[in-house]
Amino acid sequence: MIKKLFSFNVLLFLFVSGCSLGAANTDEYKVVFNNRPSQQGDEEQHLTEYTVAIIPKVINIPYFNAVEEGAIEAGRELGVKVIYKGPTVADSKQQIKIIDELIENEEIDVIAVSANDPEKLIPVLKKAQNHQIKVITWDADTLQEGRDFFINMVNPETLGRHLMDTLAWNVGEQGEFAIMTGANSASNLNEWLKWIQQHQKEYYPNMKLVTIAATDDNPNKAYLIAQKLIKDHPQLKGIIGNSSVGPPAAAQAVKEAGKAGKIAVVGLSPPNPMNEYLKDGSAQIITLWSPKKLGYLTVALSKNMATGVHPYDNQEIPGVGKIRMLDDVVTMGEPIDFTKDNVDQYDF
Amino acid sequence: MIFRHVRLRNYKLMTKLMITYLLLTVIPISVLGYVAYSQYTNSVEEQVGEYIPKLLEQANGNIDHHLDEMKRLPDSLYNSPQVIEILRKDSYQSKSNLLRDEFLVNSFLSRTYINGGNSDILGVFLLSKNRLYKSTKVTYSGLGLESSFLPYGQDLDLEGKEEVLLPYETNLKFKGNPPFILLMKQLRDFENQENLGTMLIAVELTFFEKALSNLKEEGQSSIWMTDSAGRIFFHTDPEFIGKFDDKYSEYPRINGSFRTTGLADNDLISTADFQGNDWKIFHSIPLSDLTQEADAVRNGTIIVFILVVLLSIGISILLAWNVSNPLNKLAKLMKQVEKGNFNVDLLIDSRDEVGTLAKSFNSMMQEINQLIKKNYQIELRQKDAELYALQSQINPHFMYNTLETIGYAVEEEETEVVVKMVTLLGRMLRYSLNNKDRVVPISFEVLHTNNYLTIQKFRFEDRIHFEIYEEIDTNRYYTPKFILQPIIENAIKYGLEEYQTCVIQIFIRKTANNELMIKVKDNGPGIDETVLSKLNGLLGKDPMAGRNSGFGLRNVHARIAMIFGDPYGLEIKSKIHEGTEVIIKIPMLTGEQAANISGGVESA
């Protein structure tokens, strides 16, 4: 009888321990369903530093200095090494040389160019592409084949027509006017010129374009040209500066000629160099976008290109805001007008 | 095992049967029930475990979407150049200018955010260059220029991104203590690429609840969200908000479901990451909630199981009892039989094997009883018959008559007759004395009869005639002893009473049925029909009933019947005034079979 009880107990014990053994060996938590492992904690930041070369049309003018500031700022914030190098004069040959040197001497992921000439730069940009360097353009475009996309500041039609409007407001929609553009070969300037003239023909028949003078973005040359314009065209009512060098030179010349208020000066220029002229009436309205923002955006999009992200319509770029994308052209935003009332708000 | 087996074999049959029945019912039912239950609960767990994370991810998506919308809220500010202009200004201005700016911005904030479409916004704060603009829905405390709660001053560079501050990260409190998150976004002056300030938007967490509403249906489920440190910033039970989930670090790091195993009431916990940040959302539901139905089924099954077990115990007891009880009865009866009581009856009516057994037992006992009776009585009758036969041989009357006849013969000096009679008498006496064998060759019996009749013929001279016809080999076949003499005695007695002469004919022949027939025919007075039928009837009766008329015949019949069985024996045919025929029927018994019979009878 005792033996029998014993053997029964042994059986019972084996059964019970068999049950509890299963429970004791498992963890406190039993995974029922696993969709995918949690990414939290596993994230490793890509610490690869990309190098982006930003090539402006020319250096040492306020506009491109402001771009540089934005680009450097973006480089710091986004962790990108930014090389900002450009020719001292707006010349495609010098640009080509600089790009060539960069391709040969530096490890570069992306080159972003504001092209002085849409065609002449193509070979060197292709060479860059052959070196596995992504090429984009900003400010001034090249032919499509030379780059992946173009970062435009504003819609050229909008800008061109708006520039014409700002002059028309200040001259009573009549009289002679001249345009000071940058390099004759710069595609963006030519695009704007086209729309300025188009707009004038459509809406301001009483106005007459007397001449289009190229300054090659050289402040000295621009100043001389402005003086010459004032002298050559006594009936001149207004000057449109189609590149950022134009308006300050024109304003200075107008001021010196004692014709402040009589010859309206409008155009594209950063507000800082125009601050005084706007306030003393030598210039009326200056239009531009934020070159800092442009520099920032160029670096941001360059970095995205390096990581393989193409820009898309309505994309939110931190520090810049939303961008538009149509075909292969990115548009940064709308133009800003600077007058004597708001010019103090801006610092570039 | 053999040891156990041997032990088991010694148990009572009823115990064994009961154990067998129980094992056969209880084990399969319990195994089946257990497997079905665990399979069902597992599948429920898996389904829910798969389903809830998907809902969670959906909810996360909704919340993310909502947060994204929230994050876009500060953008409206850029639509107001006036506000931007104010923000761009530095704070070193006259008091009235500052207050005017404050009025302008505050009213813009109220217009755009508080009175705008989004009802979840509790308050908006704008910090810029030591100026604080604000608009709130309810009164608040804990946020001011002088307060140092803000880990991020307006100088902090968020690099244009937004931060989400959880309630416990700030001192900010609103009246009524609604749970909220604080969206912090640095306002960037895109044009100047400078900071304009920092915007703080407090958003009530009602949208969490909305997003989670389809998850909350289930009874006792709870939902909470934690940051990467495991701190709960949202919980369906507001008590937990702000506390740490102390198990957080132990949870498996998955997007899916797991369940606790160690607790008394285990939970199924599902979790999912947020895409946008390092939050996690958890959903916990007690397993008992999920398996409610299964548990009901389980409890029902257990009740049914217990009932079935009880029923099967009852049935097994009944069945076992049904089998073992008759056996017990049988054993008891056997014991009685052992003690000598054969008058037992196993009273079982069923037609199954047990009933058959009982019937067999009963019939066996009857058979045994009958055999015993039969042998016992045969023995008795045998002895009795032999005693009678013995008596009839040394019938003093016969002896006296014979001796008297011999005496007359001596007087008349008929020595030849004397010698013959004495010889015959001697032979008869020897035949009688030779008492060992029960059956003898027919020739012996015939000789004995012949001797007897011859002696009688000497006495009655011409009054007696007899003839013996033997149609078979009388040496070869056997017959019981002393079966003819009582018949012949009767024939002589009644024949000589009525008539002058008595003729006796004896036929020994084989019948068509291969039986031996001995017919004793006389020419006596015959027997009355009523008497005859009475006599024939009496033949089967107890031969010891009395020594009245017909006793001798009955004795003979009884002995034959006892030895050979019922079909054999005497038959009397008679017609009044014409004579009587007594027919003896016995089997054709050869010497070999005769030896068996003698032995068989003797051994019984």
B78, A321 Cβ separation under 8 angstroms: yes
Q: In the prediction, which pLDDT does B62 show?
A: 83
pLDDT > 60? residue A18 = no
Give domain status of residue A263, yes or no. yes
Task: Evaluate whether residue A297 is within a structural domain.
Answer: yes
More confident residue, A111 or B438: A111
Claim to verify: residue A189 and residue A276 sit in the same structural domain = yes
- State mean pLDDT over A262-269: 92
Which pLDDT band, with edges at 50, 70 and 90, does A253 fall under? very high
Taking an 8 Å cut-off on Cβ atoms, the answer to whether B256 and A27 are in contact is no
Partner residue opposite B193 with nearest CB, options A7, A30, A70: A70
Q: pLDDT for B440-485, tens place per residue?
A: 888 988 998 899 899 888 888 888 889 999 888 888 888 888 888 8
3-class DSSP state of A267: strand
Q: In what order do the strands lie in the sheet with B180-189?
A: B131-136, B121-128, B194-204, B180-189, B162-165
| Residue count (chain A) | 348
Cβ contacts (< 8 Å) between B269 and chain A: which residues?
29
Q: Are residues A198 and A278 in the same domain?
A: yes
How far is residue A300 from each of residues A45, A81, B161, measured CA to CA in Å? 17, 11, 14
Q: Provide, as residue numbers in chain B, all residues whose Cβ is less than 8 Å from the Cβ of A30.
A: 258-259, 261
> Is A341 inside a domain boundary?
no
Tell me the CATH architecture of domain B52-143+151-289: 2-Layer Sandwich (3.30)
> Are A276 and A315 part of one and the same domain?
no
Work out the end-to-end distance of chain A between its first and last CA atoms, rounded to an integer number of angstroms: 105
Q: What is the ipTM of this complex?
A: 0.71
In a domain, A122, yes or no: yes
* pLDDT on residue A122: 92
Q: Which of these ranges, A17-21, B197-201, B258-262, has the smallest mean pLDDT?
A: A17-21
The reply to whether A262 and A305 lie within a common domain is no
Contact residues for B49 (Cβ-Cβ < 8 A; gap 6+):
A32, A33, B256, B257, B258, B259, B268, B270
In a shared domain, residues A170 and A273:
yes
Six token digits for residue B79 = 């639509």
Q: How far is CA B273 from the centre of its chain?
A: 57
- Confirm if B167 and B241 have CB atoms less than 8 A apart: yes
CB nearest B261 (choices: A23, A70, A318) = A23
pLDDT band at A45 (very low <50, low <70, confident <90, very high): very low
> Using CB atoms, which residue from B190, B192, B262 is nearest to A321?
B190
List the single residue in B with minimal CA-CA distance to A66: B192
H/E stretch holding B17: helix B13-72
Does residue A42 belong to any structural domain of this protein? Answer: no
Backbone angles phi, psi at A89, to 5 degrees: -125, 155
Please list, in sequence order, all residues whose beta carbon lies within 8 angstroms of the beta carbon of residue B487, skipping any fewer than 6 positions away. B520, B552, B553, B556, B570, B582, B584
Q: Which residues of A touch B258 (CB under 8 A)?
A: 29-32
Please give the DSSP secondary-structure letter assigned to residue B231.
Answer: B
Domain residue limits at A301: 50-153+291-333
Which chain A residue's Cα is nearest to B227?
A40
Inter-residue contact B268 to B48 (CB < 8 Å): yes
Pairs of CB atoms within 8 A across A/B: 116
Asked whether the beta carbons of B468 and B457 are under 8 A apart, the reply is: no
Domain assignments of chain B as residue spans, ordered by start: 52-143+151-289, 372-603
To the nearest whole angstrom, how far is the Cα of A167 from the nearest Cα of chain B? 23
B556 phi, psi to nearest 5 deg: -65, -50
Domain annotation covers residue A228: yes
Confidence (pLDDT) at A26: 46
- Return the closest-CA partner of residue B129 out of B198, B26, B34: B198
Residues 83-122 on B with a CB inside 8 Å of A are 84-85, 88-89
Nearest CB neighbour to B191, from listed A26, A32, A290: A290
Confidence band for B280, pLDDT divided at 50, 70 and 90: confident
Which residue of A33, A39, A77, A322 to mutate against B (max B Cβ within 10 Å)?
Answer: A33
Residue A136 has pLDDT above 90, yes or no: yes
Average pLDDT of span B37-56: 84
Query: Is the pLDDT assigned to residue A21 strictly greater than 50?
Result: no
- The contacts of residue B202 (CB under 8 Å, 6+ apart) are B121, B122, B123, B124, B125, B136, B140, B172, B174, B180, B181, B182, B183
In words, the CATH class of domain B372-603 is alpha beta
| Dihedral of alpha carbons A278, A281, A283, A284, sign | positive
What is the total count of domains within chain A? 2
**C-beta atoms of A348 and B250 within 8 A:** no
Written as six digits, the tokens of A329 are 């052209």
Q: What is the mean pLDDT of chain B?
A: 80
- Does residue A324 sit in the same domain as residue A253? no
- CA of residue B252 relative to chain centroid, distance: 49
Residue B327 has pLDDT above 90, yes or no: no
Question: Could you tell me the CATH number of the domain that includes residue A182?
Answer: 3.40.50.2300
Are residue A247 and residue A319 in the same domain, yes or no? no
Which residues face B554 on adjacent strands? none
Report d(CA B564, CA B586) in Å as an integer. 7
How close B269 comes to chain A (CA, Å)? Answer: 9
Question: Could you tell me if A71 and A84 are in contact, meaning their C-beta atoms sit under 8 angstroms apart?
Answer: yes
Overall average pLDDT of the A235-250 stretch: 92
Distance CA(B596)–CA(A246), nearest Å, equals 160
User: pLDDT, tens digit, for every residue of B69-102?
Assistant: 888 888 888 888 888 888 888 777 788 888 888 8
Describe chain B by its helix, strand, coil percentages, rounded to 5: 55, 20, 25
Chain B residues within 8 A of A290 when measuring between CB atoms: 190-193
Q: What average pLDDT is seen over chain A?
A: 85
Which of the two residues, B550 and B415, has the higher pLDDT score? B415
CA nearest to B7 within chain A: A4
**Same domain? A79 vs A55:** yes
Tell me if chain A has a CB within 8 Å of the CB of B255.
yes
Chain A residue numbers touching B84 (CB-CB < 8 A): 345
The amino acid present at B310, given as its one-letter code, is L
Are B40 and B295 in contact by the 8 Å Cβ rule? The answer is no
